[in-house]
Amino acid sequence: MALVLCAPLAAQQKEASASDGTFTIQSKVDEVMVPVLVRDKQGNAVGNLRKENFQIFDNDKGQAIYGKAYSMDKIGLPKPYYSFIKNGWKFIVLDSVLLDIDNTWYIGKLGDEQFTWLQTELQNTPATMPVMAVR
């Protein structure tokens, strides 16, 4: 099954026919959230689709599908949390924006892996060093 989702962000766009399997959404904003429900030929919802299964076009030019992984890749972060020392201070940058258990909503919390990392990070920091944590 192939699905191409087109979401043009510019003003002028020809109407697309749903008969060719392509749908066009027109909007005059910089960012568009496109909720998608994909069904198979029997009408059953298709699960386990990821952003890699879709393509977004603006005036026939492919566009990046943004998100946390995209941003981390662009700035070269292996994890969305990290620490560094500057002028005798330890700075800890945390990621408190996570998807909930069914991956439908964002919630504010530290995941188990990050929490364990934070505990280790603080245990390995000298008690005399000032720490600033940001999330």
State whether 4 and 59 are in the same domain: yes
Q: Which tokens sit at 24? A: 């066009």
State whether 4 and 60 are in the same domain: yes
**Range of 83's domain?**
69-134
State whether 126 and 95 are in the same domain: yes
State whether 75 and 57 are in the same domain: no
Query: What length is written for the chain?
Result: 135
Q: State pLDDT tens for residues 106-124.
A: 788 888 999 999 999 999 9
3-state secondary structure of 55: coil
State whether 2 and 53 are in the same domain: yes
Q: Which tokens sit at 73? A: 């890749």
The edge-to-edge listing of strands for the beta sheet with 89-93 is 82-86, 89-93, 131-134
Q: State pLDDT tens for residues 4-61.
A: 444 444 434 444 455 666 666 665 655 666 777 888 899 888 888 877 788 878 788 8
- Domain-terminating residue out of 66, 82, 100: 66
Q: What's the structural domain count of the chain? A: 2
State whether 14 and 62 are in the same domain: yes
Residue scoring higher pLDDT (77 or 32): 77
The Cα 112–Cα 132 span in angstroms is: 21
Q: What is the pTM of this model?
A: 0.52
**Which DSSP symbol is given to 90?**
E
Residues 93 and 83 sit within 8 Å (Cβ to Cβ): yes
* Per-residue confidence (pLDDT) for residue 28, from 0 to 100: 60
